[in-house]
Amino acid sequence: MSEFYKYLEMGLQNFEEYQVCAISVGVVGDICRALDEKILPFCDGIMTHLLKDLSSSELHRSVKPPLFSCFGDIALAIGEHFEKYILYAIPMIQGAAEICARMDNSDEEMGFKNSKPDLMVPHAAHLLQLIELVCRERQREESVTKAAVAVLGDLADALGSNVKILLKDCSFCTEFLVECLQSDDEQLKETATWMQGMIGRVFSVCG
């Protein structure tokens, strides 16, 4: 793995040939599923590159939705060891989710003819798993809590009717929402109320 990792790093940093970067992101997911916790020694480097990919304005935006899956794959592979990355990962994911939520369906820059829900659906379950991991952590930073709430709201906005199936059996979302609505932090309560409205709107439209 050490020798292969050098090439994986080069792929994750290849913004110009963004298809190579996209393939490298997919390979990270495959490796996580194959190695589980054995991927841990390489996670600092991989997470650094993935966070740079998410924040980069140079990288083609079509590469960014699969990064959601990649974070989820890493979190599932290394379990509690992912905790140290949460403070950095969640705000970055929030920013990317906001972009996806704002995307116009005819946005030619994405290079896809699909609508934004179709772009997000394959990666949404992984993102939800990652958010659940965050929500289960009782000692989380307040900024992380706010970002996680915002991501859930953006996810509902981006996925539209598709979110109904995704959240159907998602008990942690209800628990997390109640926790945030009962918070003494007015900004958090406001964000949670907005998230509740976004999810409620989707469910009312779907019937």
The confidence score (pLDDT) of residue 108 equals 41
The confidence score (pLDDT) of residue 99 equals 58
**Domains in the chain, number:** 1
pTM of the model: 0.57
pLDDT by 10-residue block (mean), the chain, 207 residues: 86 89 89 89 93 84 76 83 81 64 47 47 70 74 77 74 73 85 89 84 62
Q: Which domain holds residue 71?
A: 2-206
The confidence score (pLDDT) of residue 127 equals 73
The confidence score (pLDDT) of residue 44 equals 94
CATH code, domain carrying 117: 1.25.10
* Region of residue 36 (phi > 0: left; psi between -120 and 50: alpha; otherwise: beta): left
Nearest Cα residue to 45 out of 31, 61, 33: 31
The confidence score (pLDDT) of residue 15 equals 87
The confidence score (pLDDT) of residue 20 equals 92
Nearest Cα residue to 142 out of 171, 182, 183: 183
The confidence score (pLDDT) of residue 39 equals 92
